[in-house]
């Protein structure tokens, strides 16, 4: 099979709740997502998606994704899209860094491999564990009582794992964590995600104030060394997210005992191929994972489902169903949350069919696309 063309589409994904707020005064109202199609001489196409969490979360932004795809895609024409490692090596040779640019291209190749082989991506990633897997719900930054009330609302939708967006004023954040923890029931999991928003001394104050609260602390500070100092001071389970962007950082964090859990986002590490490598390494090392992406619609939710479902359950803390947060459906066949849990498609590839009427005209065509 050879790649004959690459197309890209821009799609806006508004939020059901109007906006999503996290540390540093950051918020997004409408997500800017990009869908990539990779077309082959076998007459089948694969699809992938990249949706940064705005331009201020990671070194990634939506227009940059499209510019990067236009840069990389011409170098992929004529290659066999089912040879994932060869494809990734080529992408890394023609564009250094920019992992998020390569994520949708890699995801589309996995979709093609699955369609060509008649296998779901979850099977190609190692096989399914059980019928389904748990999801977490992010609780947008708000007043402590408002955030605590969301625990009950989201539990009524089936969720049992709740991620509070903190990383603001530490006194307010301490109140947020206590208010939300008071609403927990047995079996619930609470994660306080600062998204790099605290300085080290602020984070240590918060860690001290929640020593007796059943809460995980996630990515308190911007730099790895600051997070490590907080980790060494805290007695709470500890999650690293933003600083874990490749396999080297996983190994460094493991050597330092810097975390109990990582948040593995597909586009942060450059696609499913590299996410699988990190996932498998974490399984061997005993590091648990939340598996997700920066944001996305139906295609990214499908990709998350395949990676999460093929992860041993004891090391999968949770995953995310981004397609339930947004008002627009971009593909048929995407997994839908049931009682706070998700299952991956059993159809070939990602198991989705893009809604071409929703995607509209491509913003990019390379080769015979």
| Active-site position among 115, 165, 268, 274 | 165
- Name which of 132 and 241 has its Cβ closer to Mg ion: 241
d(CA 311, CA 344): 12
State yes or no: is 115 an active-site residue: no
Of 105 and 217, the one with the shorter C-beta distance to Mg ion is 217
Identity of the residue, 88 or 263, whose beta carbon is nearer to Mg ion in the bound complex: 263
**CB-nearer residue toward Mg ion: 19 or 336:** 19
Looking at 102, 150, 265, 268, which residue is catalytic?
265
The nearest distance, CB 166 to Mg ion, in angstroms, is 11
Nearer to Mg ion among residue 36 and residue 239 (C-beta): 239
Q: Catalytic site residue 185?
A: no
Q: Which residue is nearest to Mg ion (CB)?
A: 241
Q: Which residues of this chain interact with Mg ion, rule CB under 5 A?
A: 193, 241, 263
| Least distance from Mg ion to the Cβ atom of residue 195, Å | 6
Quote the least distance from Cβ 317 to Mg ion, whole Å.
12
Identify which of residues 120 and 167 has a Cβ nearer to Mg ion in the complex: 167
Contacts of 20 (CB under 8 A, 6+ apart): 27, 28, 138, 140, 325
User: What is d(CA 237, CA 250) in angstroms, rounded to the nearest whole number?
Assistant: 17
Whole-number minimum distance, CB 219 to Mg ion, in Å? 5
* HEC sequence for the chain: CCEEEEEEEEEEEEECCCCEEEHHHEEECEEEEEEEEEEECCCCEEEEEECCCCCCCCCCCHHHHHHHHHHHHHHHCCCCCCCHHHHHHHHHHHCCCCHHHHHHHHHHHHHHHHHHHCCEHHHHCCCCCCCCEEEEEEECCCCHHHHHHHHHHHHHCCCCEEEEECCCCHHHHHHHHHHHHCCCCCCCEEEEECCCCCCHHHHHHHHHHCCCCCCEEECCCCCHHHHHHHHHHCCCCEEECCCCCCHHHHHHHHHCCCCCEEEEEHHHHCCHHHHHHHHHHHHHHCCEEEEECCCCCHHHHHHHHHHHHCCCHHHEEEECCHHHCECCCCEECCCCCECCEECCCCCCECCCEECHHHHCCCCEEEECC
Closest approach of Mg ion to the CB of residue 151, in Å: 18
Give me the least distance between CB of 241 and Mg ion, in Å please.
4
| Catalytic residue positions, numbered | 165, 265
């Amino acid at each position: 099979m050879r790649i004959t063309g690459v197309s890209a589409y821009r799609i806006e994904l508004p939020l059901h709740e109007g906006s999503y707020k996290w540390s540093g005064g950051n918020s997004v109202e409408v997500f800017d997502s990009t869908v990539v199609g990779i077309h082959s001489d076998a007459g089948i196409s694969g699809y992938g998606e990249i949706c940064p969490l705005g331009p201020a979360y990671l070194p990634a932004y939506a227009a940059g994704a499209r510019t990067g795809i236009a840069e990389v895609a011409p170098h992929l024409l004529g290659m066999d899209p089912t040879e994932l490692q060869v494809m990734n090596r080529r992408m890394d040779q023609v564009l250094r860094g920019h992992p998020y640019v390569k994520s949708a291209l890699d995801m589309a190749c996995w979709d093609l491999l699955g369609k060509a082989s008649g296998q779901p991506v979850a099977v190609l990633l190692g096989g399914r564990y059980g019928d389904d897997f748990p999801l977490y719900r992010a609780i947008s930054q708000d007043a402590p009582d408002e955030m605590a009330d969301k625990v009950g609302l989201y539990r009524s939708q089936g969720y049992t794992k709740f991620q509070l967006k903190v990383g603001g004023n530490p006194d307010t954040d301490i109140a947020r964590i206590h208010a939300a923890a008071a609403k927990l029931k047995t079996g619930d999991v609470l994660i306080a995600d600062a998204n790099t928003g605290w300085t080290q001394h602020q984070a240590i104050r918060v860690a001290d104030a929640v020593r007796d609260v059943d809460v995980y602390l996630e990515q308190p500070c911007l730099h790895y060394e600051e997070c490590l100092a907080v980790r060494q001071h805290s007695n709470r389970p500890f999650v690293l997210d933003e600083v874990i962007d490749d396999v080297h950082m996983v190994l460094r964090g493991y050597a330092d005992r810097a975390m109990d859990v990582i948040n593995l986002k597909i586009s942060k590490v450059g696609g499913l191929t590299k996410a699988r490598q990190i996932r498998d390494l974490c399984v061997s090392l005993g590091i648990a994972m939340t598996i997700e992406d920066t944001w996305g619609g139906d295609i990214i939710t499908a990709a998350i489902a395949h990676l999460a479902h093929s992860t041993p359950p004891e090391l999968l803390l949770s995953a995310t169903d981004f397609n339930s947060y947004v008002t627009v459906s971009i593909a048929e066949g995407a997994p839908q949350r049931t009682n706070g849990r998700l299952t991956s498609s059993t159809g070939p590839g990602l198991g989705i069919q893009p809604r071409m009427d929703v995607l509209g005209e491509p913003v990019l065509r390379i080769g015979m696309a």
